[in-house]
């Protein structure tokens, strides 16, 4: 079955530590996205990538970094500069350059602070 796999499902970060969230897709989609979901708020875009080796900042990129070395993979690093990292992180992918197409989501990683 094609889909998006996020790992780990739960992650804990210590003070001053960087952590990396994994996102892998086998849908052959060019575009991939990272969102953050907080209680009582809509999903907010952190970073997105339209093609390998290229990515753009979203609305809340500060304290985060990404890479896109392979079409299938779009890992997100939450750096120590992100002062409020506790949230539910969702990765998504879609067909590139095509409006009115759904974004397919993974099942998320819940990040908490120790």
Partner 1 sequence: KNQVEQSPQSLIILEGKNCTLQCNYTVSPFSNLRWYKQDTGRGPVSLTIMTFSENTKSNGRYTATLDADTKQSSLHITASQLSDSASYICVVSVPLNFGNEKLTFGTGTRLTIIP
Which parts of this chain interact with partner 1 (CB under 8 A)?
4, 6, 31, 40-45, 50, 90, 92, 96-108, 110
Radius of gyration of the chain (CA): 13
Toward partner 1, which CB reaches closer, 69 or 107?
107
68: Cβ–Cβ under 8 A, 6 or more apart, which residues? 32, 49, 51, 52, 53, 54, 55, 74
Name the minimum Å distance from CB 105 to partner 1.
3
Toward partner 1, which CB reaches closer, 16 or 39?
39
Name the minimum Å distance from CB 80 to partner 1.
27
* Beta-bridge partner residues of 88: 37, 110
Toward partner 1, which CB reaches closer, 7 or 18?
7
The span from the CA of 13 to the CA of 109, in Å, is 12
Name the minimum Å distance from CB 17 to partner 1.
24
């Amino acid at each position: 079955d094609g889909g998006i796999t996020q790992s780990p499902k739960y992650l804990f970060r210590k003070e001053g530590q960087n952590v990396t969230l994994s996102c892998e897709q086998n849908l052959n989609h060019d575009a991939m996205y990272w969102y953050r979901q907080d209680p009582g708020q809509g999903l907010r875009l952190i970073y997105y990538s339209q093609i390998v080796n290229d990515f753009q900042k979203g609305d809340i990129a500060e304290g985060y970094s990404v890479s896109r070395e392979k079409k299938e993979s779009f890992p997100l690093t939450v750096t120590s500069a992100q002062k409020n990292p506790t949230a539910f992180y969702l990765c998504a992918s879609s067909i590139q350059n095509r409006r009115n197409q759904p974004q397919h989501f993974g099942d998320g990683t819940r990040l908490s602070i120790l």
